[in-house]
């Protein structure tokens, strides 16, 4: 990882390679702006609950990340707007005090346009520094981390916008899209056998992969232990390590809306024996009787209405980023909490997979249904594929054996949240391309429902 005399006389390679980092950086930045462009300045302000953040804040916070960790490391750099450090730091204690989280929705100045200027200024400075070869190895690592960080916030910005719009009785449309053709729904799922024994899980050592490099040196793309890789990983996916996998089976497709309706029809939300204690308490406190955003639409169907029974007249809609729509049987169920996922599994005589059997079972499956800005909604559930909705696992979010955080303030990225949350695997229809990978560990508290979270069974 030695670098040598970079600045003076870079060869043609050194001139082109960074371009790749610039391209990736700008592509990420542009997607954020594209996604935000469908939100008015007004839409970008509210924080609809403490766990959510305003779109303007997402846009500024991701920019701050680059200013703090990449530009901040450049000799002589100082921010022209130091107050942004206070406003747009999320939780990095080592960086200093910050706007209280529940008050992010009160930041109306800088304006949305000024946040756009902030983005442009930082983009320009980052690109200039990259072009000048002034970003060192650690800076490049942090640049890459910042790109992945911003991709995570792209997804958060979308689920937060959905949560906001769902509270607006005018049913705002984020993106219009035609209804899908009706897809066939298979009642039963197939199962894939996971063999008992020791398996290797987790992402390879980043020292052994090709990242954003300044010197353009090629990395081999294969780790010492023979597992191929070539992508980025977060610290929480590492180190790659051995686990004992008990024998079991994992379903080849996700639980669908049609499946969930059966659970509901069978009293799923009213039978305490199906639920974890905290889950049953949440059902009663929150009044859950269906997945998040679902709403029962009433019909006046008289008893003399002929073929259609009264029960058939109950129709469920759900709020989507294309407005309120009827639920679609073939789609994976979405916006369910861990507690609901767990209760469903118990009802089905099954269980949730651990994150490790999930990782083993889904090896080689297609990663599909990633973020399409013109759709922003899962497609019908597919066989032997991940994506569309995140999948709750039975595993708590804990550090892997030998877990080491990133150096410096960036070390607060993941590790300090390793308690009282559950691991989700896969990816959703709001997850930017590349993030739906076998070792990725998403995590939310057990009661969360505003992310695009669904269920896959094991047994």
Q: How far is the CB of 199 from a second copy (least distance, A)?
A: 9
Is residue 241 within the footprint of a second copy (CB under 8 A)? yes
Is residue 272 within the footprint of a second copy (CB under 8 A)? yes
Q: How far is the CB of 45 from a second copy (least distance, A)?
A: 4
Is residue 395 within the footprint of a second copy (CB under 8 A)? yes
Closest to a second copy by CB, 95 or 376: 95
Helix (H) or strand (E) holding 157: helix 137-166
Which two structure tokens, joined as six digits, stand for 32?
């954020």
Q: How far is the CB of 170 from a second copy (least distance, A)?
A: 5
DSSP symbol at 40: -
Is residue 91 within the footprint of a second copy (CB under 8 A)? yes
Candidate residues 16, 168, 228, 305; the one interacting with a second copy per rule CB under 8 A: 168
Distance of CA 406 to CAs 4, 142, 153, 409, Å? 24, 10, 19, 8
DSSP 3-state of 18: helix
Is residue 108 within the footprint of a second copy (CB under 8 A)? yes
Cβ 275 vs Cβ 336: under 8 Å? no
- For residues 70 and 317, give the distance between their C-alpha atoms in angstroms, rounded to a whole number: 45
- Of 6-14, 117-125, 328-336, 390-398, which segment contacts a second copy by CB under 8 A? 390-398
Q: How far is the CB of 169 from a second copy (least distance, A)?
A: 6
Candidate residues 198, 265, 304, 311; the one interacting with a second copy per rule CB under 8 A: 198
Cβ 314 vs Cβ 299: under 8 Å? yes
Mark 43-67 as b/e (b = at least 16 C-beta within 10 Å): bbbbbbeebbbbbbbbbbbbbbbbb
Cβ 216 vs Cβ 13: under 8 Å? yes
Is residue 446 within the footprint of a second copy (CB under 8 A)? yes
Is residue 107 within the footprint of a second copy (CB under 8 A)? yes
- Of 169-177, 184-192, 205-213, 317-325, which segment contacts a second copy by CB under 8 A? 169-177
Distance of CA 30 to CAs 14, 22, 40, 120, Å? 25, 12, 17, 10
Is residue 204 within the footprint of a second copy (CB under 8 A)? no
Closest to a second copy by CB, 47 or 213: 47
Closest Cα partner for 186 from 21, 332, 327?
A: 332
- For residues 453 and 440, give the distance between their C-alpha atoms in angstroms, rounded to a whole number: 15
Cβ 129 vs Cβ 135: under 8 Å? yes
Is residue 273 within the footprint of a second copy (CB under 8 A)? yes
Candidate residues 22, 28, 43, 213; the one interacting with a second copy per rule CB under 8 A: 43
Candidate residues 105, 292, 388, 427; the one interacting with a second copy per rule CB under 8 A: 105
Closest to a second copy by CB, 56 or 142: 56
Is residue 112 within the footprint of a second copy (CB under 8 A)? yes
Cβ neighbour number for residue 421 with a 10 Å cutoff: 17
Cβ 348 vs Cβ 202: under 8 Å? no
Query: Residue 48: phi, psi to the nearest 5?
Result: -75, -15
DSSP 3-state of 234: coil
Closest to a second copy by CB, 25 or 358: 358
Site string for a second copy, 277-306 (x = CB under 8 A): xxxx--------------------------
Is residue 99 within the footprint of a second copy (CB under 8 A)? yes
- For residues 406 and 397, give the distance between their C-alpha atoms in angstroms, rounded to a whole number: 18
Closest to a second copy by CB, 312 or 404: 404
Half-sphere exposure of 415 (CA within 13 A, CB side): 16
- Of 165-173, 207-215, 292-300, 376-384, which segment contacts a second copy by CB under 8 A? 165-173
Binding site for a second copy (CB under 8 A): 40-46, 48, 56, 83, 86-87, 91, 93-94, 99, 103, 105-112, 164, 167-170, 172, 198, 241-244, 246, 248, 272-273, 275-280, 338-339, 342, 351, 394-396, 398-399, 401-402, 412, 416-420, 422, 446
């Amino acid at each position: 990882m030695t670098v040598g005399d970079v600045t003076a006389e870079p060869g043609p390679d050194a001139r082109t390679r960074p371009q790749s980092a610039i391209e990736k950086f700008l592509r990420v930045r542009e997607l954020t702006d594209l996604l935000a462009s469908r939100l008015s300045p007004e839409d970008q302000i509210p924080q609809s609950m403490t766990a959510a953040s305003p779109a303007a804040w997402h846009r500024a916070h991701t920019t701050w990340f680059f200013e703090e960790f990449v530009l901040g490391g450049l000799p002589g750099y100082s921010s022209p707007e130091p107050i942004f450090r206070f406003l747009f730091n999320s939780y990095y204690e080592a960086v200093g005090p910050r706007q209280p989280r529940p008050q992010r929705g009160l930041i109306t100045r800088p304006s949305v346009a000024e946040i756009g200027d902030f983005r442009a200024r930082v983009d320009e400075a980052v690109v200039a520094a990259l072009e000048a070869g002034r970003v060192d190895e650690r800076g490049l690592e942090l640049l890459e981390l910042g790109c992945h960080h911003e991709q995570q916030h792209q997804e958060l910005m979308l689920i937060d916008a959905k949560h906001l719009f769902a509270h607006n009785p005018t049913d705002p449309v984020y993106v219009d899209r035609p209804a899908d053709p009706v897809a066939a729904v298979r009642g039963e799922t197939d199962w894939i056998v996971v063999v008992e024994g020791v398996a290797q899980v987790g992402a390879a050592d980043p020292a052994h992969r090709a990242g954003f490099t300044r010197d353009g040196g090629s990395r081999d793309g294969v780790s010492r232990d023979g597992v191929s890789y070539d992508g980025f990983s977060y610290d929480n996916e590492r180190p790659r390590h051995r686990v004992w996998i008990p024998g079991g089976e994992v379903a080849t497709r996700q639980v669908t809306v049609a499946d969930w309706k059966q659970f509901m029809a069978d009293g799923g939300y009213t039978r305490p024996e199906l639920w974890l204690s905290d889950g049953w308490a949440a059902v009663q406190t929150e009044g859950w009787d269906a997945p998040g955003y679902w709403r029962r639409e009433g019909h006046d169907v008289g008893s003399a209405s002929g073929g259609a029974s009264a029960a058939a007249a109950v129709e469920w809609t759900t709020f989507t980023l294309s407005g309120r729509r009827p639920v679609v049987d073939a789609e994976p169920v979405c916006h369910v909490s861990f507690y609901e996922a767990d209760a469903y599994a118990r009802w089905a005589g099954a269980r949730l997979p651990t994150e490790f059997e999930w990782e083993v079972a889904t090896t080689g499956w297609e990663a599909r249904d990633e973020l399409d800005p013109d759709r922003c909604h899962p497609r019908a559930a597919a066989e032997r594929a991940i994506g569309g909705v995140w999948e709750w696992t039975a595993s708590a979010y804990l550090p892997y054996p030998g877990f080491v955080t990133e150096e410096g303030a960036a070390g607060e990225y993941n590790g300090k949240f390793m308690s009282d949350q559950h691991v989700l695997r896969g990816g959703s229809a709001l997850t930017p391309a590349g993030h739906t990978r076998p070792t990725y560990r998403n995590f939310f508290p057990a009661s969360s429902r505003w992310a695009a979270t669904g269920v896959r069974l094991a047994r």
